[in-house]
Amino acid sequence: MAEPDYRIRTEVDFAALGRLREAAWGGQDDGSGWPNILARSLTWVTAYEDERLIGFVNVAWDGGAHAFLLDTTVHPDVQRRGIGSALVWEAVQAARAGGAHWLHVDFESHLQGFYAACGFRPTAAGLLRLV
């Protein structure tokens, strides 16, 4: 298989992004919410294999020094090939180039090893559920 093509902040087919999210995370995502989300993002990274969207990560930010890694997603058919790590690496570089000084990520405990391998270190943080 060819190496995935990683693209920084390029146009995204929102329906294809919704299908990717559904395949990886379950639930329903018709893609209609993504234009508003990405309009507020510092950047995002997509991964394509033969023009098929197989990976995505969003980098939200506060408009200043802090950026936030969100929605790291790799299609289940191509997981365990380093695509997630490459998406995160590209996002780190793009966030740095965009002026961020810190990149935060929240994750479920089973992903701790993945994010540690990507260079993230544990910190104390707080979380308040709003809904």
At CB < 8 A and 24+ separation, what contacts does 109-118 make? Answer: 114/84, 114/85, 115/88, 117/85, 118/85, 118/88, 118/89, 118/92
pTM: 0.93
pLDDT for res 49:
96
pLDDT for res 131:
87
Q: Mean pLDDT for each 10-residue chunk of the chain (131 residues)?
A: 91 97 95 95 97 97 95 96 97 96 94 95 86 87
**105, two tokens:** 């990520």
Q: Write down the domain spans for the chain.
A: 5-117
How many angstroms separate the CA atoms of 102 and 92, rounded? 10
How many angstroms separate the CA atoms of 74 and 56, rounded? 7
> What distance lies between CA 87 and its chain's CA centroid?
7
CATH of domain 5-117: 3.40.630.30
pLDDT for res 1:
64
